[in-house]
Amino acid sequence: MKETTPAAMPPCFKRWCQRFDDIFGHIAQKREFRNYLGGLLGESERKNIQQMAANAIGVSYHKLHHFLTAAPWSAMELNQRRLEVMNQCRQTKINRGFSLIVDDSGHRKSGNFTEVVGRQYIGEIGKTENGVVAVTTHLYDGIKSLPLDIELYQKADSLPEGKADPEFKKKAEIAIDLIDQSLARGYRPGIVLMDAGYGNNASCLQELENRKLKYIGGLAKNRKVIIQKVGDKKEEIRVDDLARALPSEAFSKIQLQLEKPRTVWVATREIELSKYIGNRVVAIVMNAATYDEASDIDYLMTNVELSTATAEWVVKTYSQRNWVEVFYREAKGWLGLKEYQVRDKRSLKRHLILVFCAYSFILWHTLTGGLRRRWANKPLNTFTEALEAFRTAISFRFVKWLNENWDVFSAYKASLGFIWA
């Protein structure tokens, strides 16, 4: 049922929103925070302001728009409170030694009026297009997958002074800033996982090592590494040439239990990098037993010692990066992460943080069992199942409200040009 009303929101939603009330200085901001969050969690086909307001009786587009674009509240403070709320409960708290996933995600955006839009590579479609890109940090601790922080990336050519502009930051620099935010909160990861966009960046790796963080990062196939030859001889070689030179018996067959089970063949080798002190471990991951047969080859590198960084450990630990892709799919598909009607950077950042809050609401109630006890007679094992249970609660309470407020609903339909008879 698309239509709803703020009066139909279940008590668990109201209690969740009360945890954020002191962030908003005015009662109108508190009300629109609930309306916006409810719209993101509701059944509107689109999650832009106009559609959410049109489908909610008693919600005004202009008030919702003002809340997102002009009202004086801090997205950073809201995000900090969200993480504090998650950390207060035994089932949802951030456990030590978690994996911190660094990634960026983009989506198409036409036109040139939105502040951070630029022609750039969009991973969602796999090519260069006009769009928006954001860098995120994400947590996975074996139990839950949780977004931590997000920052929008702005291309140099969209800034007045280009790369010399004080506002310009490379994606790797943004990633380090986001990691520092987690460290400042006391959230120290056991391992940092990142793709080749960051793992192949020497300055990014150096910054991680300066912070004494362990990492696994992707490598470009043309990255040169130094390997030990017979005796004291050393050779500098590209990692794809190293993979080609390894015998088939050097690869171990490993089964990965992902959304779709996958079999890979992995070999590890201790290497050195020029201008770096100490050894690293490189892992070659193929989808076939031999290099010539493989159609998909990934190259990974870690600063974890070889005794720990076995082929199985590297590939199974790095496979946890899949959880950030699951989050993007759920947040974009169900919560409108890429649907908004704003132009400026601040408002867009607010929308993204509000999506994080909506996602955390469902995650919190999934892990604590509240939705299962009240609105489902089966286990809620996935985000979509838990969201559907919550929407069932909204529908039930809306039908009850409707039976008591026919005149209000009729007036709402009449305002849209329809007759409710």
Tens of pLDDT, residue by residue over 295-337, are: 999 999 999 999 999 999 999 999 999 999 999 999 999 999 9
Q: Give residue 421's pLDDT.
A: 63
Residues in the chain: 421
Q: Give residue 374's pLDDT.
A: 82
What residues contact 269, with CB distance under 8 A and at least 6 apart? 227, 242, 246, 281, 282, 284
Tens of pLDDT, residue by residue over 380-394, are: 889 999 999 999 999
What residues contact 323, with CB distance under 8 A and at least 6 apart? 101, 138, 140, 145
- Exposure string for 142-170, b = 16+ CB within 10 A, e = fewer: eebbbbbbbbbbbeeebeeeeeeeeebbe
Interatomic CA distance for residues 331 and 248, integer angstroms: 41
Cα–Cα distances in Å, from 171 out to 37, 45, 152, 217, 350?
A: 29, 32, 9, 15, 20
Interatomic CA distance for residues 54 and 13, integer angstroms: 21
Whole-model pTM: value is: 0.93
Cα–Cα distances in Å, from 98 out to 138, 211, 301, 313, 333?
A: 10, 16, 19, 15, 26
Query: What is the DSSP secondary-structure string of 195-232?
Result: -HHHHT-HHHHHHHHHTT--EEEEE-TT-EEEEE-STT
Interatomic CA distance for residues 225 and 401, integer angstroms: 67
Query: What is the DSSP secondary-structure string of 152-168?
Result: EE--GGGSTTGGGSTT-
Mean pLDDT of the chain: 91
> Residue 127 carries which side chain, given as an amino acid letter?
K
Give percent above pLDDT 90 in the chain: 69
CB atoms within 10 A of CB 293: 11
Tens of pLDDT, residue by residue over 37-95, are: 999 999 988 889 999 999 999 999 999 999 999 999 999 999 999 999 999 999 999 88
Element housing 91 (H / E):
none
Interatomic CA distance for residues 223 and 299, integer angstroms: 9
Domains of the chain: 6-73+369-415 (no CATH), 84-327 (3.90.350.10)
Tens of pLDDT, residue by residue over 160-180, are: 777 888 888 999 999 999 999
Interatomic CA distance for residues 209 and 303, integer angstroms: 8
Residue 145: which of 349, 382, 335, 368 has the closest Cα? 382
Q: What burial class does residue 307 get, using C-beta atoms within 10 Å of its C-beta: 0-12 exposed, 13-18 middle, 19+ buried?
A: exposed
Interatomic CA distance for residues 406 and 293, integer angstroms: 67
Dihedral pair phi/psi, residue 25, rounded to 5°: -85, -10
Q: Give the pairing of strands 127-140 and 215-219.
A: unpaired
| Both structure tokens of 127 | 């090519």
Q: What burial class does residue 379 get, using C-beta atoms within 10 Å of its C-beta: 0-12 exposed, 13-18 middle, 19+ buried?
A: exposed
Tens of pLDDT, residue by residue over 210-267, are: 999 999 999 999 999 999 876 678 889 999 999 999 999 999 999 988 778 889 999 9
E-strand ranges in 198-330 read 215-219, 224-228, 234-238, 252-256, 262-272, 279-286, 297-302
Q: Give residue 1's pLDDT.
A: 62
